[in-house]
Chain A
Amino acid sequence: MNTVLQLVFSGIAMGFVYALCALGIVLIYSSAGVVNFAQGSLVMLGAYIGVTFLTKAGLPVIWSVICSAIIMGFVGILFERIAYYPLRDQGTTIVIISTIGVSVFLNDGVYVLWGRAPLFFPPLLGGPPLELLGARIPPQNIAIAAITMALLLFQTVFFKRTWLGRKMRAVAQDQDTAALMGIKVPRMIDFTFAYSTILAAIAGIFAAPLFFVSPAIAQILSKAFASTVVGGFGSIPGAIIGGLCVGLTETFAAYYLSSAYRDAWAFLLLILFLLVRPQGIFGEIVAEKV
């Protein structure tokens, strides 16, 4: 069996999950200027909502994804209204703190609704593993890669070609100028939060079959942060490439070096980048705005 190829494919699947979570963080950062520390918990909430639709309501996979995405979109707007909107004129530290509060609330809140036992999430795609050059790839990993690619394509078209997407980009570039052009800035920030939370929901549903559904999923946050820094903070392609880097590094290091320290490798990569190339792969050195 071709171990290296096998590891590459599972690393890529993990990497895409990290990338989706990282993308949500980057989008919110570029439009609202705050770092969302609740993104990991939103991923976890997405997984819980997804598992509810899938096993309790018995919907097929694709409808579970769509229904959870819609619900999570509204959760995103609610989250923005509670934790960001009242603090939008304050410093960044206080917004970080309030998103941490939401994160802690959600991580414990799911116990109240779904109980303490981790929930089982069936594989997204059944069937026998695919044989490719001596590696066995679970169909689910291919599904994760395919859906993420489709989503990224959709996102590119959406941001480049539609008015809504262009308005959101304008807000991300310069809030004041966007407002002068007649764009409703708070509305666009609402949409950005909603979209980022939808990404979190999809990341959650992808992560769910790889782990069990439990608050442990929320720890994806630190990997997602590592991805954003590795890729270059604030850069959308950076978040994706960073996610893949972290996923691959982690998978290979866990296999060849030490699996007990599995969760540490992403962080070491992060420290390495902060020391050697703090602007990340895609980042450019820009002076901090006054």
Chain B
Amino acid sequence: MQRTSFVNRKIVFYLMLIVIAALIPQVVKSRYYMSVLNLAAVYLILAAGLNIYLGYTGMMGFTQVAFWGIGSYASALGMINLKMPFWTALPFAALFTGLIGFLLAIPSMRRLKRFYLSVTTIGFVEITRLILENWESLTKGADGLPGIPRPVLWGIRFNTPHKFYYISLFFVIVLTALSYIIKNSRVGLAMQAIREDELAAEVIGVNTFRYKVLAFTLSAVYGGVAGSLYAHFVGYISPNVYVFQEAVTVLCMVLIGGSGYVGGPIIGALLLTIVPEWLRFMNEYKALVYGAAVVVMAVYMPRGILGATETIRARIRQRFFGEKKASVYPGQ
């Protein structure tokens, strides 16, 4: 009885969050702030993708930024060259990026050694950038690709940040829900078992190779969706958007929000896109701050804001209600 009411309260809470998020364009009139929120949504999806393989599966890589780029170009070129409508171009970009992620995952995941993945992904980011810059007949090279069409649905052109926000919000909700479903499914449990102890997971019969490839492919699909949204929101893309620096930004978002939590990327992405708007004087040293933040978070709060609140809540419960020390979180 108590349990069902608890679940209901949770659902009401999530629904309220969605309603509030949907009302934002009615309250915020500034085009600029709506643009910031749209970009936050792009980063949120990137971070949610990274969360699947960093947070759930415990692997480290930098590919989100490359998948973002591939997704952007696939979607933009699909619309410009193949005359796809946006609603075909976005799934096309997601599938194409997912396929590339799958093909990259196979050689990288063969070995147990986890850092091979991190190593190959650094190279992958570089190669992607080189291809985007040098394949001029397709990507127009370093000049970038201008004039990417806006999405149209039922005769509505989503050409302002206010309108586009609803598309962004829709994909944020769908992909966050997908993260939630994955995390609580068999697949997610297998991934988390790999994170805790890969060898033990293998011993109890988890096909670690398959789940690692799956986690990687899923993160690529998320990257593809984020890329497609970015391309059609900004309307212009160029290879120097998708730099290694952005991979660190996305990593920061996951770490600060709380890696392994469904809500982690949401908190991290919102914090790290909105707070820098207030602290614009330090924009020049953004990377410096991010770098320091990554180290501090890794050392003192490896499970991010959500992990820290969970620990604090458990401690309070333990002290004031005398509950037995519940499993706060299993060490990563």
With A105-B288, A271-B120 already in contact, the answer to whether A98 and B295 are too (CB < 8 A) is yes
Contact, CB under 8 Å: A274 / B285: no
Chain A residues whose C-beta falls within 8 Å of the C-beta of B28 in the assembled complex = none
- The reply to whether the CB of A182 lies closer than 8 angstroms to some CB of chain B is no
Scoring B residues 248 to 261 as 1 if CB is less than 8 Å from chain A, else 0, what string do you get? 10010001000000
* Other-chain contact of B291, A87, A94, A106, A222 (Cβ < 8 Å): A106
Name the distance in Å between A89's Cβ and chain B's nearest Cβ. Answer: 9
Instruction: Name which of B2-10, B70-78, B107-115 contacts chain A.
Output: B107-115
Q: Which residue of A lies closest to B331 (CB)?
A: A90
Chain A residues whose C-beta falls within 8 Å of the C-beta of B245 in the assembled complex = 104
Chain A residues whose C-beta falls within 8 Å of the C-beta of B299 in the assembled complex = 82-83, 86-87, 98
- The reply to whether the CB of B211 lies closer than 8 angstroms to some CB of chain A is no
Chain A residues whose C-beta falls within 8 Å of the C-beta of B286 in the assembled complex = 108
Contact, CB under 8 Å: B58 / A91: yes
Contact, CB under 8 Å: A274 / B115: no
Most A CB within 10 A of own CB, among B120, B251, B286: B120
* Cα of A174 to Cα of B113 in the assembled complex, Å: 19
Chain A residues whose C-beta falls within 8 Å of the C-beta of B58 in the assembled complex = 91, 93
Contact, CB under 8 Å: A87 / B298: yes
- The reply to whether the CB of B287 lies closer than 8 angstroms to some CB of chain A is yes
* Cα of A182 to Cα of B70 in the assembled complex, Å: 54
Contact, CB under 8 Å: A104 / B332: no
Which residues in window 77-129 of A have CB below 8 A to B?
A: 82-83, 86-87, 90-98, 100-109, 111-112
* Cα of A225 to Cα of B299 in the assembled complex, Å: 25
- The reply to whether the CB of B95 lies closer than 8 angstroms to some CB of chain A is no
Most B CB within 10 A of own CB, among A101, A263, A267, A275: A101
With A104-B290, A104-B291 already in contact, the answer to whether A222 and B119 are too (CB < 8 A) is yes
* Cα of A13 to Cα of B274 in the assembled complex, Å: 47
* Cα of A102 to Cα of B297 in the assembled complex, Å: 12
Which residues in window 282-321 of B have CB below 8 A to A?
A: 285-288, 290-299, 302
Most A CB within 10 A of own CB, among B59, B120, B298: B298
- Spell out A's residues near B (CB within 8 Å): 35, 37, 82-83, 86-87, 90-98, 100-109, 111-112, 219, 221-222, 225-226, 229, 233, 260-261, 263-264, 266-268, 270-271, 274-275, 278, 288, 290
- Spell out B's residues near A (CB within 8 Å): 54, 58-60, 107-108, 110-116, 118-120, 122-124, 126-127, 130, 133-134, 199, 245, 248, 251, 255, 285-288, 290-299, 302, 331-332
Q: List 18 A-B contacts (CB under 8 A).
A: A35-B115, A35-B119, A91-B332, A93-B54, A93-B60, A97-B255, A100-B251, A103-B291, A104-B291, A104-B294, A112-B285, A225-B122, A267-B120, A267-B124, A267-B127, A268-B127, A270-B119, A278-B111
Q: Which 10 A-B pairs have the closest CB atoms?
A: A101-B294, A105-B291, A267-B123, A104-B291, A101-B295, A98-B298, A108-B287, A108-B288, A225-B119, A35-B115
A-B contacts besides A92-B114, A264-B126, 18 pairs, CB < 8 Å: A35-B119, A82-B295, A87-B298, A87-B299, A90-B302, A92-B115, A96-B115, A98-B299, A101-B291, A101-B296, A101-B297, A107-B291, A108-B286, A261-B127, A270-B119, A275-B107, A278-B110, A288-B112
